[in-house]
Chain A
Amino acid sequence: MTNWNSAMAQYTKSVPKNPADSDDTLDAVLEVIIFQTQDGDELVGFQNKKDQVVLTFEGED
């Protein structure tokens, strides 16, 4: 799910957790971070929740 804040050019991406394999979850989180930061956006927030990881990115509007 993507949440936009157009004024700040800030958005979030959530990665569901694999309850059976935490390494799988970590791989998916890293893949999302690498993909979203390729055009200069930065990871500015990381929330480790019970069933998902929420990543917040920020970049030029």
Chain B
Amino acid sequence: MTTPQLPVRSILGATALITLIIGGTGCATKESAIQKAAKDWCMTIRGCQVIPVYPLTEDIQPGDIFLVQVPIDRQQNLYRAQGFLALDNHLARLNPTGYEDFYAHNFFAKGSTNRLLSDWIRPRGTNQSWAAAPHAAFPSYAFTVRNGAGLSLAVPIQGVPVGLSLLASDAASGSVQIQDAHTVGVDTLSLYRQVQQWAETNRTFLQNFGTPASAPERNYLRVVSRLYTAGRLTVSLKDASNRSGGLDAGVPKPVNLLTPELPANATNVAGNALQNFTNAFGALSQMVSAAAKATDAAGNVLPGGSLRLAAASARTVSIDETFDPALSIGYLGFDCVIEADGGLGPPIPTHANLEPDYRVKQFESFKANLDENVDTFKQIENAYATASADRKSAIRQQALELGLLAAPVPDDKFIRTLRRSVDANDAAKTARFKKLAEFCGQSQ
């Protein structure tokens, strides 16, 4: 009996195919691991009603203007899928002039002169970056992690991979505490005014991205109005790998330094134990410092904050990572649609745009305004019908002054023209109609 033999070429081909498949899967796994970690991180920030910045950066400020060419519903999908929004089309950086009025009441010392943001980011005469800014607090971020492809890239902090290497573990559960968090912002009203002035100056440029109201996809300007920063992240890791009977195979892990054997026949056991722990902790701290000074192939220091060992035991490691100056972890802002003529629409909070139920709320608001507008208009119509000629003239004049009429109109055209002006999408106009109804209700 002869054993069937596969052709050599087929075996080579199959091997190459398997290699390709394994290689391809590895890449996909690495990419998806990075995306998952990025999303987990961002979901924590989002849980605090803040739009995440990923990766963390110092180079984003209130007054930054980004061009958004992704439709709102597509943005909602991306936001759900990735957890963050790419800020890649940076058009301009305004220096908000409203800081002083916004913070002068309670945050500036009497008689002090503050030049924001520079006096808060890099205060003169002190190295306490952001210390004068209003504080903020975030909940801790719990995670489980396995040592593997992409980890150091996916988690935006160095402490996690360094901690894993100290534990010599391939799996750990842990938490990240966002500390020394601060916030700075400026009111939408003053910033929107500045953005409008900027848009007027750059109208020709914005016309390239302007679309009519009827266009299916519209472009927006996204303006950052508030920033959240973190000066320190504390990473706590607990070894989650499976071991039994206290037997570890392979190279001893660094944290084993913390449980050295005491010398035999030692008399001062407590003193020796304390001294051993202190020595070992010092050795570990040096390892952490060395890890933070890691350089790439070209000898450049790798990005990230400075690391300091905060606590350690045989199964846990806690590391402080400090960013000086602090890095932005999230922001709030508003979006303005770019009209066909290069003008800007009203400011809509970015957060509202990203929430799927925003459209439901928008409709409910429209419906409530519509009902109110119809009632108010009936009051005006009834009052106008029974008014004297002089009173009618006064009502028309009042409507003109309130901006409900574009130009003076005669008596017989007033109601028809005024009706065309009713707009339930415009809350300001709804309020002006109410003022006119109140005027109509006043005694002559």
Residues of A within 8 A of B (CB): 1-4, 6, 11, 13-20, 24-25, 28, 31-32, 35-36, 38-41, 47, 49-51, 54, 57, 59-60
Contacts and interface: CB of A to CB of B under 8 A. Distances in A.
B419 A25 contact: no
28 contacts: A2-B423, A4-B406, A15-B366, A16-B425, A17-B359, A17-B363, A18-B359, A20-B360, A24-B367, A28-B366, A28-B370, A32-B370, A35-B374, A36-B419, A36-B420, A38-B419, A39-B415, A39-B416, A39-B419, A40-B416, A41-B420, A47-B214, A49-B214, A49-B216, A54-B213, A59-B416, A59-B420, A60-B416
A14 B360 contact: no
A43 B411 CA distance: 24
Interface residues of B, number: 25
Contacts of B401: none
Nearest to B423: A2
Contacts of A24: 363, 367
B419 A1 contact: no
Interface of B: 73, 213-214, 216, 359-360, 362-364, 366-367, 370, 374, 377, 406, 415-416, 419-426
B416 A1 contact: no
Given A18-B364, A28-B366, A59-B416, 6 more contacts: A1-B213, A6-B406, A14-B425, A16-B362, A24-B363, A39-B415
Q: Which 9 A-B pairs have the closest CB atoms?
A: A39-B416, A18-B363, A16-B363, A2-B423, A16-B362, A19-B359, A16-B366, A20-B360, A1-B425
Contacts of B423: 1-2, 13
B216 A28 contact: no
Nearest to A31: B370
A3 B213 CA distance: 10
A14 B363 CA distance: 11
A4 B407 CA distance: 13
B381 to A, nearest CB: 9
Contacts of B367: 24, 28
Contacts of B421: 2
Contacts of A13: 423
Nearest to B416: A39
Contacts of A38: 419
A22 B370 CA distance: 17
B164 to A, nearest CB: 45
Contacts of B214: 47, 49, 54
Nearest to A34: B374
B303 to A, nearest CB: 41
Contacts of B377: 35
B419 A35 contact: yes
